[in-house]
A and B are shown apart, each in its own frame.
Chain A
Amino acid sequence: GAVVSQHPSWVICKSGTSVKIECRSLDFQATTMFWYRQFPKQSLMLMATSNEGSKATYEQGVEKDKFLINHASLTLSTLTVTSAHPEDSSFYICSARRDFNQPQHFGDGTRLSIL
């Protein structure tokens, strides 16, 4: 159990395009979902925490208008990278948890390349 699906797994697009990444908990209801960014050979960096039905909480230094997060239901959160530029190229990973004292389960990640 505790499967998290992330889609798409790979995106290549032109500068200025907006890209939407979906994160779904397939077999459980996730009260909270998280979005991370990972640069090559580095650890995961939390971008934002998303609770169902409320606004996302962004970490310091993360642009809210650049990275739009929507947590429309207990099984779906989306991250939209708006007007993406080459510096937004990275590996984005989502995670989900049932409740505050439960482990986080991660999606397989999305490799975003902006040309």
Chain B
Amino acid sequence: GIQVEQSPPDLILQEGANSTLRCNFSDSVNNLQWFHQNPWGQLINLFYIPSGTKQNGRLSATTVATERYSLLYISSSQTTDSGVYFCAVVPSGGSNYKLTFGKGTLLTVNP
């Protein structure tokens, strides 16, 4: 099956810093989603971005489908940004359109 690799696995920032999270995938995809799982376990949809670039406030994402990677940018980080960021993809050609998750990036933003 498709492999989804996220980097870095852990990231510690000071409040106000910027960061870039990366998601590499091993095959072509129909869908790609970025999620933020907060310390309470809630999984929050950040972006649905199979290709192109999107922005939402301090967050933006870019997916280059032809090169099989996606980037999540966090600017002016805040302590509330702490948590795990997951990338998940639906491979092309599949019949069930199931999401495959990466292992996540654990982000800690210190005040």
**A: which residues have CB within 8 A of B?**
2, 32, 34, 38, 42-44, 46, 49, 57, 91, 93, 95, 97, 100-101, 103-106, 108-109, 111
Q: How far is the CA of A49 from the CA of B98 in the complex (A)?
A: 8
Total A-B contacts with CB atoms under 8 angstroms apart: 49
Q: How far is the CA of A104 from the CA of B97 in the complex (A)?
A: 10
Identify the 8 closest CB pairs spanning chains A and B, nearest first: A103-B48, A106-B43, A100-B97, A43-B101, A109-B41, A44-B101, A108-B42, A43-B103
Q: Contacts A93-B43, A100-B97 known; A43 to B33 CB distance under 8 Å?
A: no
Given the complex, which residues of B lie within 8 Å of A108, measured CB to CB? 40-43
Shortest CB-to-CB span from B110 to chain A, Å, is 20
Given the complex, which residues of A lie within 8 Å of B88, measured CB to CB? 44, 104
Interface residues on B, range: 20 to 34
User: 1/0 contact trace for B69-111 toward A, CB 8 Å?
Assistant: 0000000000000000010100000001111011110000000
Among B40, B45, B96, B104, the residue within 8 A (CB) of A103 is B45
Given the complex, which residues of A lie within 8 Å of B97, measured CB to CB? 32, 97, 100-101
Given the complex, which residues of B lie within 8 Å of A104, measured CB to CB? 33, 88, 99
CB of A106 within 8 A of CB of B35, answer yes
CB of B86 within 8 A of CB of A44, answer yes
Given the complex, which residues of B lie within 8 Å of A2, measured CB to CB? 45
Q: Apart from A44-B43, A46-B99, A108-B41, what 18 extra A-B contacts exist at CB < 8 Å?
A: A32-B97, A34-B99, A38-B41, A42-B103, A43-B101, A46-B98, A49-B96, A57-B96, A93-B41, A97-B97, A100-B97, A101-B30, A103-B45, A104-B33, A106-B35, A108-B40, A108-B42, A109-B41
Given the complex, which residues of A lie within 8 Å of B30, measured CB to CB? 101
B50 to chain A: closest residue by CB: A101
Q: How far is the CA of A38 from the CA of B101 in the complex (A)?
A: 11
CB of B99 within 8 A of CB of A43, answer no
CB of B102 within 8 A of CB of A103, answer no
Q: How far is the CA of A44 from the CA of B96 in the complex (A)?
A: 17
B38-82: which residues lie under 8 A (CB-CB) from chain A?
Answer: 40-43, 45, 48
The reply on B31 being an interface residue by CB < 8 A is yes
